[in-house]
């Protein structure tokens, strides 16, 4: 079903394809919490447009700032400096921000001190959701012909998800909600084994930060659902209904895509399925037990990721403000609706 060349970063999770039928009975209704019962709210009156004020230029600037640190390859100067900036910025935009450090060993047997960067909005509200993205960038350009051993800038692949979430928090600061939001920027998502490494295939070598977070985080109040953003800034991006997301949180997928449709963003959020992808949401679903979906740019008809994926062309030229706006406004709509129904 999938081109094998697509499997380098987000390997198709064949195990899930096989085992999904086992999980369906126990997980299908996991996102049927009371808040999920209003899944037909795609027909509800759209909330005021003022509430949906999302500053895509700000999101773009947040991405540009990350890229200006250079590659955020774990262990690099850019990685260290960007972590400091992220904690500072997140602390300004939420009620609390902190670093969850962890030890990790990557496929190349290198040891790392990983840094998940966490924030909370309205931390005392037990009614919560989760927004997340990874912030590290790929340490090699293994999909590039030129200089494949050098790290990528990762404007879209890492920068965009973080940028949209930060800009969204700015919107929520201006139009406050009472819903609680947990924010996580995962480290070491993108240090998985390249296909051409010559090493035997490994298991769970991607998404090391989310695996640690899912296994070790104590939740005072468990988020009722989560949304992962990954590669959400590409020009004319298409977001398909990814299989793991549908398996664990079908209602949330339909709500988000419905909200996008209400906002006239159906040309970004296509009502089309795609296969399962190994991304941070897999571990959030299977280990942390939070029904979580992945919004990720993937081309229609099994067309794979964007052409600049894991190449040196993943720079600011790959980032498009209208796409950032579509994703940001759709998320804002979803969050305000959740806030409204939570009352």
For Zn ion, which stretch binds (CB under 5 A), given 71-79, 150-158, 177-185, 300-308? 150-158
For Zn ion, which stretch binds (CB under 5 A), given 1-9, 68-76, 161-169, 281-289? 1-9
55 or 157: whose CB is closer to Zn ion?
A: 157
Q: Is 309 helix (H, G, I), strand (E, B) or coil?
A: coil
9 or 260: whose CB is closer to Zn ion?
A: 9
71 or 223: whose CB is closer to Zn ion?
A: 71
| Distance separating alpha carbons of residues 130 and 343, to the nearest angstrom | 18
Q: Which of 31, 142, 190, 339 binds Zn ion (CB under 5 A)?
A: 190
Exposure b/e, 279-291, CB count within 10 A at least 16 = b: bbbbbbbbbbebb
53 or 76: whose CB is closer to Zn ion?
A: 76
Report in angstroms how near the CB of residue 192 gets to Zn ion at its nearest: 8
Report in angstroms how near the CB of residue 309 gets to Zn ion at its nearest: 7
For Zn ion, which stretch binds (CB under 5 A), given 152-160, 162-170, 174-182, 299-307? 152-160
Q: Is 130 helix (H, G, I), strand (E, B) or coil?
A: strand
Give the count of residues interacting with Zn ion (CB under 5 A): 4
Say whether residue 294 binds Zn ion (CB under 5 A).
Answer: no
| Distance separating alpha carbons of residues 163 and 171, to the nearest angstrom | 13
| Distance separating alpha carbons of residues 60 and 129, to the nearest angstrom | 24
Q: What is the side-by-side order of every strand in the sheet holding 111-121?
A: 96-105, 111-121, 180-186, 128-134, 226-230, 292-296
Which residues, in sequence order, are CB contacts of 198 under 8 Å at separation 6+?
none
Report in angstroms how near the CB of residue 206 gets to Zn ion at its nearest: 9
Residues from 127 through 146 that contact Zn ion (CB under 5 A): 138
* Pairing outcome for strands 239-242 and 269-274: parallel
| Distance separating alpha carbons of residues 82 and 46, to the nearest angstrom | 37
Report in angstroms how near the CB of residue 266 gets to Zn ion at its nearest: 26
Residue with tokens 């129904």: 341
Q: Which of 9, 246, 327, 332 binds Zn ion (CB under 5 A)?
A: 9
Say whether residue 157 binds Zn ion (CB under 5 A).
Answer: yes
For Zn ion, which stretch binds (CB under 5 A), given 79-87, 173-181, 183-191, 314-322? 183-191
* 8 Å CB contact between 42 and 261: yes
Report in angstroms how near the CB of residue 138 gets to Zn ion at its nearest: 5
* 8 Å CB contact between 229 and 160: yes
What is the rounded (10 degree) CA torsion for 135, 297, 242, 143?
-80
Say whether residue 56 binds Zn ion (CB under 5 A).
Answer: no
Q: Under the rule (CB under 5 A), what is the footprint of Zn ion?
A: 9, 138, 157, 190
């Amino acid at each position: 079903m999938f081109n094998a060349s697509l499997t380098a970063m987000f390997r198709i999770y064949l195990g899930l394809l096989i085992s999904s039928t086992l999980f369906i009975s126990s997980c299908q209704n996991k996102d049927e919490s009371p808040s999920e019962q209003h899944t037909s709210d795609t027909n509800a009156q759209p909330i005021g447009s003022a509430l949906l004020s999302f500053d895509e230029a700000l999101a773009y600037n947040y991405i540009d700032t990350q890229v200006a640190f250079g590659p955020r390859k774990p262990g690099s100067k850019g990685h260290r400096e960007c972590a400091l900036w992220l904690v500072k910025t997140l602390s300004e935009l939420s009620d609390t921000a902190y670093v969850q450090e962890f030890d990790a060993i990557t496929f190349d047997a290198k040891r790392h001190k990983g840094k998940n960067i966490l924030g909370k909005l309205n931390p005392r509200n037990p009614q919560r959701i989760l927004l997340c993205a990874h912030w590290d960038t790929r340490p090699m350009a293994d999909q590039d012909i030129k200089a494949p051993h050098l790290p990528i800038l990762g404007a879209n692949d890492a920068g965009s998800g973080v940028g949209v979430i930060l800009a969204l928090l700015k919107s929520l600061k201006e139009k406050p909600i009472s819903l609680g939001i947990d924010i996580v920027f995962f480290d070491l998502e993108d240090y998985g084994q390249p296909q051409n490494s010559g090493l035997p295939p490994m298991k769970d070598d991607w998404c090391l930060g989310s695996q640690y977070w899912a296994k070790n985080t104590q939740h005072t109040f468990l988020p009722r659902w989560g949304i992962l953003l990954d590669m959400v800034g590409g020009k004319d991006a298409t977001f398909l209904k990814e299989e793991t997301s549908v398996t664990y949180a079908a209602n949330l997928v339909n709500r988000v895509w419905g909200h996008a449709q209400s906002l006239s963003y159906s040309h970004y959020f296509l009502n089309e399925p795609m296969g399962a992808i190994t991304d941070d949401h897999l571990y959030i679903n299977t280990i942390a037990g939070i029904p979580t979906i992945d919004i990720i740019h993937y081309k229609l008809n099994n067309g794979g990721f964007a052409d600049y994926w894991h190449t040196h062309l993943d720079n600011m030229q790959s980032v498009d403000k209208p796409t950032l706006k579509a994703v940001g406004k759709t998320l804002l709509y979803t969050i305000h609706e959740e806030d409204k129904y939570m009352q």
